[in-house]
Structure 1
Amino acid sequence: MKGAHDIFFNDHGIKFVLEHAWRELRHDHKWCRASALKDSASSKRKKVDEGGSAQSSNNVEAGVHVDDAAEMRPPGVKASKSKAKKQNGCKEEGKALLEFQNLWSIRQQDLELKVEIAKSRKQDMEMKSKLAKHKTLDNLLAKTEPLSDIENALKNKLISELLS
């Protein structure tokens, strides 16, 4: 450890003061992988061989990807938040669709109810009209005095409507 401190002081010109943080994080998965990559001398940059074989460089990259799959690092805070937002977005779209379908079915039921009400009102109006005609006919038939020509015509018309 003393040798590492001396090397750091020689390289940077200041004393290493983050030893407490290093002790906490040295076994952390993220930093262990980073030191393992440095030890194995592989990097993110492509290594170009003098022979220029593209196949060998692809093999090196494939080896790095296999190592990545073996030692998957947990997702970061930003990645977790964006994933959660995407999932919530899908859920919200599903909720919105479900809500729209519910509102649409309610609207259709309301429309059907209005149609039924309109039909019943029309039937009520027809019944009221028939009742009014019956009353008029009853009044004309109840008269003891001789009916005028207009009243006779109205009585005959009402009787023919009721019989048809």
Structure 2
Amino acid sequence: MEPFPSHSPGFVNLLASQSSPSIDVDSAEALGNSPGLVKPLERRKWGVKEDLVLISAWLNTSKDPIVANEQKVVSFWKRIELYFNASPQMIGSVPREWSQCKQRWGRVNAEVSRFVGCHEAALKEQSSGQNENDVMKAAHDIFFNDYNVKFTLEHCWRELRFDQKWRSHVKDGAKEKRKEPAPEVVLDDGDVRPPGVKASKVGKRRKHRNEAAFDRVESLLAMKNMYSKQKILDRLLAKNEETLSSQEKELKTKLIGEML
């Protein structure tokens, strides 16, 4: 029996029938648009222009006096979606869905809030001669040291910094100088000056108040001691003289002598 040749048309057709059908790369877009397939949302990076439009949409929608805070979460973000995609700055851009806007805003809000604290700390440490650029550099350094990541949303912070929610409690240019301890001055005996008139009066009043308080305490203790002795003496006097021990008779005589 002759071996089946590898180049036989029947063998090639058999392999072709068992192999997976090839996909035309050029027709991938057409397949993606077919009704039977669900194409996932494209993950796109947000640009500076999109961030600024999103911030504007959030500020205007959240402060809308018509709906105010009574609007539901989904309807609130759908309003932001409409505002965002209808912005003239978004002409020619791929529209964003409300869930994408909500997710991006969550990051912007968190990062900017953190940077506000870092900027406040930098303002408090601002020394004379430092300008706003120096403060910003210090704020970025603080942010990186605290969160181990660079702050990349400065454009968002500059847009939100004057809004009430993100306004810094430290005014720009305000400085809080650290109070250095006053140097200790050791005076010679000849340099020691007597206290002034006011200081002497204050010292006397303080001394008199302390003495008066001490006298009141002593008086209360004396009264308490006298009351205790009186109770002991009353118990001894109530007993029959013949039943008293020698120690009780001695104590009775002593207490009577103190009371007289």
Shorter-chain TM-score: which interval? Answer: 0.3 to 0.5
Higher relative contact order, chain-length normalized (CA < 8 Å, sep 6+):
2
